[in-house]
């Protein structure tokens, strides 16, 4: 029996590390979600719960995508959380105090994100400074700038913006029947559409463009990538630039979701983004990772938080410990699988 | 520039950490020739190549390339590729996390998008035509080192290059793979490609090359047509001195030592890396060797002795007493020293100084609470640098800036310093020039003369025949024979490896 199985597996082309980790992530997410539906029931049986997870996490998905790209090249960006707060505050001030329109707020968000990406990328790529240190400085700068722009929280009143914020996109044929027997269709916010488009576009870039493959090559072995004729500096620069741009987009999506500016916005978002990337199968050592995995990483992280709160363990420390356990389990599973696989070959 | 040359380098200078790596070196490569670049370790071959491919910037000198007006300046490997210079390095310079096909095409395909289907198809075609046992979609990291090296060669070959540089590409290939590579080189030569071939194997040079340029100590010795330079002269030019008579180095009384007291005995020793358990014994004061083809299990065997791979069973006796060796430190405490095969991975600590690398094993033996004073360390380092003639700017120089042969000597010094009773040398002469090889062989015999036991492993059989008094022959992970005395001949070893049947 056993010999027969061996022969069969040998005939299949071995899976790449990236695809293997992606498969694990997706399987774990579905197992977890289905288990929640079966054993907890309640809210998990309603379709809208799933879409609410998306609504709540659209910004995080976008931020995590940028994080994954930087991590694939072997770097890290811990500025994105505070950067999101800065973008929210700037956009809010622009809309309510400077008579800006939704368009100017979007452009402002993108410009801020891009500016951070360019400066941080240049420092990392062309001056060979550790990405952790560069983005640590970026984090403090963004934090300081947020309070300079405006030091207190306020809700945006701009009508066009509020209308956009409250726009619901209904999903055809999906929804649930409420207690009174009325069918309530499921909906998503605009941010979710942006996030899904970003995931698809980035997946395409990482899989099929030369730039995307260069990210993997540089993360796998920068010296080799250089010898193979890849411009390592340019690639690293573009990874940070892309991450900054995505922080700009993600920042606006966050803003669109909360509808206010506050220095405390998106606190710890960078850590959630890193956690999601890791759960999604991106390795901190670089060279391995997948955007689809990151997407499911965010969903898994958020689902586990929901499960914890539905179980009545709604204290912050329960959530934190669960998330910690989850990251640990994922890292251990990933290491075991990769070690085994590499030993066999 | 001469009419038929594709590449000319004139007056190249390069200095590292005050070591003059290249001084006024000239090099000319003609169209459709295979040109061997020869020299001892530290002669400057690798440096010259890295200057040419833009990995290092030169301090002075000019490079001319066919089709370019005037001297060109190559600042990065990317530019070198675009100019038509492709390179296969000794170390694998591919990305293990990408697929085989990607490693062949990344950094040189046109357009923004990657056409996976087309890329995989053409990669499979090339892999098949070169007989490389790998699939295009396979992740490179899952291939063996030899296959990875072949993939690197396939990449270089597939590029429309004018100059192909092969920097010791054969050190991880077996005979049939080398033969394939040579067919490929001759094919490219016929198409007018100029090939620079760096190797330590003299046989290979005389098999395929047309011309030889010899470097020594960073300076040009000369350029010769192959037919005008007999082997002995080549060797003496590389060494800068007349070659010692190699057959003289082994003393005549080795027969007497066999059968003397057993210092190490392994009974059914098995490890995670080994396919079959090992059973053998080591005598006092002998030089024995494990021989066999690549992958025959000789390295796995000695790694198990030292505890470098996890030991899973069997009994080990030293001086008749049962002992357990679970990790390298246990082995060291029992007086076993091990010079690993892959010095980059298991041996050197690149950023530490030569001195720190030398005292490393001794420090572990003494424990970290009995630090070795700097003065004492300095004394040890100086002593061994002199004894082994290690070429280094100072004891403070980081070891990574030394040449391969000198790194090897530093690791050897590290083990000699611990005064081991049983020293295992796994491929100590790989990638090392002939002069150093002979020095190491002599040193091995001297150690045995002092009553120490040495296990010497080398893929060059004649080198083992010169040094060892007993050979354990392995095939497919099993011990298949033991040769000593008058049986120690090339043909006998070959037939034992082959299993007696042809």
In three-state form (DSSP H/G/I as H, E/B as E, the rest C), the secondary structure along B2-58 is CCCEEEEEEEEEEEECCEEEEEEEEEEEECCCEEEEECCCCCCHHHHHHHHCCCCCC
> How do the residues of chain B divide into helix, strand and coil, expressed in percent and rounded to 5?
40, 25, 35
Q: Do B201 and B218 have their domain in common?
A: yes
Give A229→chain B minimum CA distance, Å. 4
In the structure encoding, which two tokens stand for residue B481, read together? Answer: 């024979």
Residues in A touching B77 (Cβ below 8 Å): 226-229
Question: Is residue B173 located within the same domain as residue B35?
Answer: yes
Question: How far, in Å, CA of B393 to CA of B398, rounded?
Answer: 10
| Same domain as B351, residue B226 | no
Residue-level pLDDT at B249: 47
Distance CA A235, CA A215 (A): 6
Give the range of the structural domain holding residue B303, as residue numbers without chain letter: 246-335+421-502
- Residues B122 and B213 occupy one common structural domain: yes
Q: How far is A135 from chain B (nearest CA, A)?
A: 26
In this structure, what token pair is assigned to residue B225?
């047509």
Q: Which residue of A has its CA nearest to B135?
A: A13
pLDDT tops 60 at residue B276:
yes
B90 touches chain A (CB under 8 A): no
- The shortest CB-CB distance from A216 to any of B78, B98, B141 is to B98
> How many CB pairs lie under 8 A apart between chains A and B?
100
Query: Which residue among A13, A210, A217 sits closest to B135, beta carbon to beta carbon?
Result: A13
Task: Return the pLDDT at B318.
Answer: 82
Which helix or strand (DSSP H or E) is residue A285 part of?
A: none
Return d(Cα A267, Cα A289) in angstroms, integer: 25
Residues of B in contact with A288 (CB under 8 A): 97
Which residue, of B239, B257, B286, is where some domain finishes? Answer: B239
> Do residues B94 and B179 share a domain?
yes
Nearest CA in chain A to B93: A224
Position B238 pLDDT exceeds 80 = no
Q: What is the average pLDDT score of chain B?
A: 79
Name the closest residue on chain A to residue B55, using Cα atoms. Answer: A227
- Give the minimum alpha-carbon distance from B92 to chain A in angstroms, rounded to a whole number: 8
Contact status, residue B100 vs residue B135, Cβ threshold 8 Å = yes
- Does residue B245 have a pLDDT over 50? no
Q: Which chain B residues are closer than 8 Å to A212 by Cβ?
A: 114
- What are the two backbone dihedrals, phi and then psi, of residue B11, each rounded to the nearest 5 degrees? 55, 50
Q: How far apart are CA A26 and CA A20, in angstroms?
A: 10
Closest partner residue to A14 (CB to CB) among B55, B81, B139 is: B139
For the stretch B125-136, pLDDT in tens is 888 887 788 888
The reply to whether B194 and B99 lie within a common domain is: yes
Q: Chain A partners of B107 at a C-beta cutoff of 8 Å? A: 214, 217, 225, 228-230
Torsion of CA B140, B145, B146, B147, to 10 degrees: -10
A164 and A102 Cβ atoms separated by less than 8 Å: yes
One domain, residues B425 and B415: no
Per-block average pLDDT, block size 10, for chain A (345 residues)? 38 68 88 88 83 92 96 94 95 90 93 96 94 95 93 89 89 78 84 94 92 92 86 94 96 93 90 92 88 93 86 78 87 80 58
pLDDT tops 50 at residue B211: yes
Number of domains present in the structure of chain B: 3
CB spacing of B77 vs A228 below 8 angstroms:
yes
CB atoms B93 and A211 under 8 Å = no
The residue written with tokens 């490693």 in the block is: B103
The band of B256, judged by pLDDT with boundaries at 50, 70 and 90, is: very low
A220 touches chain B (CB under 8 A): yes
Cα B276 vs. chain centroid, distance in angstroms?
27
Q: How confident is the model at residue B150 (pLDDT cuts 50, 70, 90)?
A: confident
- The domain spans of chain A are 53-169+188-301
What is the per-residue pLDDT across B4-38, written as a single tens digit (0 to 9) for each?
888 889 999 988 876 788 888 999 998 889 999 98
**Where among B239, B261, B282 does a domain terminate?**
B239
pLDDT recorded at residue B86: 86
Query: What CATH number does residue B52 fall under?
Result: 3.40.50.300
Spatial contact of B249 and B243, defined as CB atoms under 8 Å apart: no
Nearest to B178 by CA among B189, B163, B166: B166
Q: Residue B77, exposed/middle/buried by CB under 10 A (0-12, 13-18, 19+)?
A: buried
> Hey, which residues does B35 pair with through a beta bridge?
B196, B211
> B149 — contact with chain A (CB < 8 Å)?
no
B88 reaches A (C-beta below 8 A): no
Given A13, A208, A212, which is nearest B137 (Cβ)? Answer: A13
Question: Could you say which of A208, A212, A224 has the minimum Cβ distance to residue B94?
Answer: A224
Query: Is B97–A16 a contact, with Cβ atoms under 8 angstroms apart?
Result: yes
DSSP for residue B113: B
A 18-37 → B contacts, CB under 8 A: 18
Rounded to whole angstroms, the Cα distance separating B5 from B211 reads 13
Spatial CB neighbours of B468, under 8 Å, sequence gap ≥ 6: B287, B288, B289, B456, B488
Cβ <8 Å between B112 and A224: no
- DSSP symbols for B441-494: HHHHHHHHHTT-EEEEE-S-HHHHHHH-SEEEEEETTEEEEEEEGGG-SHHHHH
Separation of alpha carbons B383 and A256, rounded Å: 72
| Residue A339 at interface with chain B, using a CB cutoff of 8 Å | no
Regarding whether B117 and B265 lie in a shared domain, the answer is: no
Compute the nearest-CA separation of A311 from chain B (Å).
41
Beta carbons of A30 and A221 less than 8 angstroms apart: no
Which pLDDT score, from 0 to 100, does residue A5 have? Answer: 37
Q: How far apart are CA B59 and CA B13, in angstroms?
A: 5
Shared domain check, B196 and B148: yes
Q: Which of A213, A227, A345 sits opposite B142 (nearest CB)?
A: A345
Looking at per-residue confidence, does B465 or B494 come out higher? B465
| Residues A230, B106: C-beta atoms closer than 8 Å | yes
Give one DSSP letter per residue of A29-68, joined into a string: HHHHHHHHHHHT-GGGGSHHHHHHHHHHHHHHHHHHHHHH
| Four-residue CA torsion sign, B46, B48, B53, B57 | positive
Confidence band, pLDDT 50/70/90 cuts, at residue B248: very low
CB distance from A288 to chain B under 8 Å? yes
Interface ipTM above 0.90 = no
**Res B246 pLDDT > 70:** no
CB B258 within 8 A of CB B469: yes
Last residue of a domain, one of B239, B264, B285: B239
Give, as one character, the DSSP assignment of residue A265.
T
Task: Test A342 with B112 for CB contact under 8 angstroms.
Answer: no
- As beta bridge partners, residue B475 has B478
The answer for B315, left when phi > 0, alpha when psi is -120 to 50, beta otherwise, is beta
* Per-residue pLDDT band at B500 (split at 50, 70, 90): very low
Q: Is pLDDT at B502 greater than 60 in this prediction? A: no
Phi, psi of B470 (to 5 degrees): -150, 135
Task: Kindly compute the dihedral angle of the four CA atoms of residues A22, A23, A26, A32, in this order, to the nearest 10 degrees.
Answer: -130
Q: B409 is written with which tokens?
A: 């000597």
Q: Hunting for tokens 């029992």 — which residue is that?
A: B334
What confidence category does residue B398 fall into, taking pLDDT thresholds of 50, 70 and 90? confident
What does the CA dihedral B412, B23, B7, B240 come to, rounded to 10 degrees?
A: -60
Residues of chain A with C-beta less than 8 angstroms from the C-beta of B141: 17, 342
Is B111 in CB contact (< 8 Å) with chain A? yes
Q: Which tens digit of pLDDT belongs to each residue from B434-479?
A: 777 787 888 888 888 888 888 888 767 777 888 888 888 877 677 7
Q: Which of B96, B107, B143 sits opposite A230 (nearest CB)?
A: B107
Q: Cβ–Cβ of A230/B78 closer than 8 Å?
A: yes
């Amino acid at each position: 029996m056993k010999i027969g199985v061996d022969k069969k597996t040998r005939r299949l082309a071995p899976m790449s590390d990236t695809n293997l980790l992606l498969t694990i992530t997706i399987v774990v997410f579905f197992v977890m979600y289905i288990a929640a539906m079966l054993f907890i029931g309640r809210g998990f049986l309603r379709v809208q719960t799933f879409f609410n997870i998306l609504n709540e996490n659209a910004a995080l998905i976008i931020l995590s995508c940028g994080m994954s790209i930087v991590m694939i090249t072997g770097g890290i960006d811990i500025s994105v959380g505070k950067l999101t707060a800065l973008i929210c505050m700037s956009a809010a001030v622009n809309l309510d105090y400077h008579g800006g329109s939704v368009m100017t707020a979007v452009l402002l968000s993108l410009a801020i994100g891009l500016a951070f990406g360019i400066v941080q990328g240049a420092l990392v790529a062309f001056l060979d400074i550790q990405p952790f240190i560069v983005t640590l400085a970026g984090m403090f700068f963004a934090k300081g700038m947020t309070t300079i722009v405006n030091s207190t929280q306020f809700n945006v009143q701009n009508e066009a913006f509020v209308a956009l914020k409250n726009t619901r996109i209904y999903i055809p044929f999906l929804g649930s029947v409420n207690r009174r027997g009325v069918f309530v269709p499921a909906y998503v916010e605009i941010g979710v559409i942006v996030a899904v488009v970003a995931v698809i576009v980035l997946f395409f870039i990482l899989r099929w463009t030369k730039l995307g493959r260069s990210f993997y090559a540089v993360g796998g072995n920068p010296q080799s990538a250089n010898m193979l004729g890849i411009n390592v500096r340019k690639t690293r620069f573009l990874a940070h630039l892309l991450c900054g741009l995505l922080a700009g987009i993600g920042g606006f999506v966050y803003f669109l979701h909360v509808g206010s500016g506050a220095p405390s916005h998106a606190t710890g978002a960078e850590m959630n983004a890193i956690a999601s990337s890791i759960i999604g199968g991106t390795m901190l050592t670089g060279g391995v990772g997948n955007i689809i995995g990151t997407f499911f990483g965010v969903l898994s992280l958020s689902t586990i938080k929901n499960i914890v709160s539905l179980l009545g363990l709604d204290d912050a420390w329960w959530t934190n410990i669960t998330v910690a356990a989850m990251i640990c389990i994922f890292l251990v599973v990933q290491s075991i699988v990769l070690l085994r696989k590499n030993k066999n070959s | 520039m001469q009419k038929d040359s594709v590449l000319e380098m004139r007056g190249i200078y390069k200095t590292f950490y005050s070591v003059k790596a290249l001084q006024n070196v000239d090099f000319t490569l003609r169209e459709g020739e295979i040109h061997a670049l020869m020299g001892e370790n530290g002669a400057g071959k690798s440096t010259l190549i890295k200057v040419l491919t833009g990995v290092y910037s030169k301090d002075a000198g000019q490079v001319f390339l066919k089709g370019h007006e005037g001297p060109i300046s190559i600042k990065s490997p990317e530019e070198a590729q675009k100019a038509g210079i492709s390179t296969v390095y000794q170390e694998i310079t591919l990305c293990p996390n990408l697929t085989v096909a990607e490693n062949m095409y990344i950094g040189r395909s046109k357009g923004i998008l990657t056409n996976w289907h087309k890329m995989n198809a053409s990669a499979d075609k090339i892999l098949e035509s070169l007989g490389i046992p790998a699939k295009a979609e396979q992740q490179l990291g899952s291939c063996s080192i030899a296959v990875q090296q072949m993939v690197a060669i396939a990449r270089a070959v597939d590029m429309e290059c004018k100059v192909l540089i092969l920097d010791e590409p054969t050190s991880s290939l077996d005979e049939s793979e080398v033969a394939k590579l040579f067919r490929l080189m001759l094919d490219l030569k016929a198409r007018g490609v100029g090939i620079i071939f760096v190797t330590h194997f003299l046989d290979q040079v005389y098999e395929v090359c047309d011309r030889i340029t010899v470097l020594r100590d960073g300076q040009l010795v000369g350029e010769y047509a192959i037919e005008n330079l007999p082997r002995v002269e080549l060797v003496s030019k590389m060494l800068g001195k007349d070659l010692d008579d190699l057959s003289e180095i082994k003393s005549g009384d080795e027969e007497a030592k066999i059968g003397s007291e057993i210092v190490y005995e392994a009974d059914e020793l098995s490890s995670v890396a080994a396919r079959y358990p090992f059973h053998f014994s080591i005598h006092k004061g002998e030089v024995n060797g494990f021989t066999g083809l690549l992958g025959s299990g000789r390295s796995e065997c000695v790694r198990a002795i030292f505890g470098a791979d996890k030991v899973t069973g069997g009994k080990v006796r030293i001086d008749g007493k049962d002992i357990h060796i679970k990790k390298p430190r246990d082995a060291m405490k029992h007086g076993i020293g091990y010079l690993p095969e892959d010095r980059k991975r298991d041996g050197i600590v690149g950023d530490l100084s030569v001195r720190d690398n030398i005292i490393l094993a001794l420090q572990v033996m003494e424990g970290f609470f009995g630090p070795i004073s700097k003065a004492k360390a300095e004394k040890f380092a100086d002593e061994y640098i002199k004894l082994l003639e290690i070429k280094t700017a100072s004891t403070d120089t980081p070891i990574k800036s030394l040449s391969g042969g000198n790194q090897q000597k530093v690791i050897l010094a590290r083990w000699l310093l611990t005064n081991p009773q049983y020293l295992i040398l796994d491929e100590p002469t790989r990638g090392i020039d002939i002069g150093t090889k002979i020095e190491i062989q002599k040193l091995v015999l001297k150690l045995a003369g002092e009553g120490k036991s040495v296990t010497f492993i080398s893929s060059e059989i004649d080198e083992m025949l010169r040094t060892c008094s007993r050979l354990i022959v392995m095939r497919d992970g099993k011990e298949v024979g033991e040769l000593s005395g008058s049986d120690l001949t090339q043909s006998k070893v070959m037939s034992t490896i082959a299993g007696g049947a042809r």
